[in-house]
């Protein structure tokens, strides 16, 4: 079985809930980045999640622990990202934190997997989007909580396909 790690930063609990659902699908426990160590970033598949705060910023625990990701050796490793945001209230920075995590992982040599279509979302801009694709799984528990579980389920199946 592949070594899968799910690392998240959550302030209100929504990202933690999504991380727990994703981790459960792989039979692992999610790790809060506030409690993470460098060893937590060693995996066959590393799944990183953050909510977006302020004007497109990382969640506070991620901001404090971003050095762990910036120092991780991800060369040739599979990395997937997910993010939570508010596409109505913060339409111009929707899930930007997810884009920040993806960029940092790519800078460390990661192979980014798990891109999803941006079709059907109501945001106006996101650093997590390029060519109508999000770099990972974008979730909006503020406005579309009823879609969260089905989006997670479909995304997890895509990730499992990449693992073989």
Q: Quick one: which H or E segment has residue 51? A: strand 45-53
- pLDDT of 50: 98
**By CB neighbour count within 10 A (0-12 exposed, 13-18 middle, 19+ buried), where does 69 fall?**
buried
Q: Token pair of 71, please?
A: 């120092």
Q: Kindly state the DSSP code that residue 40 receives in the 8-state scheme.
A: G
φ/ψ (deg, to 5) at 39: -65, -25
**Residue 24 CB partners (closer than 8 Å, separation 6+):** none
Q: Read off the pTM.
A: 0.96
What the chain holds in terms of domains, given with CATH numbers, is: 4-163 (3.40.50.360)
- pLDDT digit string (tens) for the chain, length 164 residues: 689 999 999 999 999 999 999 999 999 999 999 999 999 999 999 999 999 998 899 999 999 999 999 999 999 999 999 999 999 999 999 999 999 999 999 999 999 999 999 999 999 999 999 999 999 999 999 999 999 999 999 999 999 999 88
- pLDDT of 12: 94
């Amino acid at each position: 079985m592949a070594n899968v790690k799910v690392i998240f930063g959550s302030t209100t609990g929504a990202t933690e809930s999504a991380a727990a659902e994703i981790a459960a699908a792989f039979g692992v426990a999610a790790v809060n980045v506030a409690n993470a160590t460098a060893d937590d970033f060693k995996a066959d598949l590393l799944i990183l999640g953050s909510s977006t705060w302020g004007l497109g910023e990382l969640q506070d625990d991620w901001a404090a622990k971003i050095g762990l990701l910036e120092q991780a050796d991800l060369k040739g490793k599979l990395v997937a990202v997910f993010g939570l945001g508010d596409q109505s209230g913060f339409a111009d920075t929707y899930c930007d934190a997810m884009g920040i995590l993806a960029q940092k992982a790519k800078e460390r040599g990661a192979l980014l997997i798990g891109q999803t279509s941006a079709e059907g979302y109501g945001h106006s801009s996101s650093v997590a989007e390029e060519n109508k694709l999000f770099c990972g799984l974008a979730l909006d528990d503020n406005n579309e909580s009823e879609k969260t579980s089905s989006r997670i389920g479909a995304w997890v199946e895509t990730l499992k396909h990449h693992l073989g």
